[in-house]
Structure 1
Amino acid sequence: MRSGALIESWFDMLTDEQRPIARALHAAVTAAAPSLHATVRWGNIVYQHEGTNALAIVPHKSHVNLQLFRGAAVAPMYPQLEGSGKGVRHLKLRAPEAVNADFIARLTAAAIDALDVPEPH
């Protein structure tokens, strides 16, 4: 299955509540960084930059997360990010109206820039 078709079929498996949030996030991320490669991994849409995981859209029962794989590196600049592990942080969204394209563009750029920061050990 081609990547675009795979992404579309992923949206089909979401609930009616999750789908508009995930679509709004996908549109914002791809508009911000058209060079990112989107694929489906682990049941999520994962965006890669030069073969490295940068972001993901992760559906949950009552919300959808935009996950930043190296989010800990940018968390001090973005207090809206949640999480406490060594690397991953996420932005929790409960409605499509909550998807601010300008903010998602800044987060997307930060997530890509963070790939240059060494991973914590």
Structure 2
Amino acid sequence: IDYLDAITRVDSTGLILGHSDDNFEIAIPFYTNKVIEGLSEEELSNQVSSLIWDLSAYMTEELCPSCNDSNLRLTTMVSKGDILVKFCDECLYTGIRNEHVEIEEDLVPAPKKMIEVYLSER
């Protein structure tokens, strides 16, 4: 619920949508079937949160330095939206400026402008 609350405050036109290795042709029917099966409010919130995350958290081509199992996503903290945080979906690694950090708050997808700056510096 906290994540959904935070993400609803993000302007979707300021995000890069659909840049991940997720197969949405499979994912969308999966989510649709879950809803049809009937979900509690909490389960529905979790499914919606997952779908929003999969669609909007920009995935880099950079492998996670911790698990080497997944590419990192570009995110930012809800309270400090000007700091780029790299995040691994598999092991939950979080990094700022290539240093592992512990973050207690929710992460949201990094805005398009922040991603464009990141990509131009690569």
Do they superpose with TM above 0.5? no
Length-normalised TM-score, structure 1: 0.30
Larger gyration radius, structure 1 or structure 2: 2
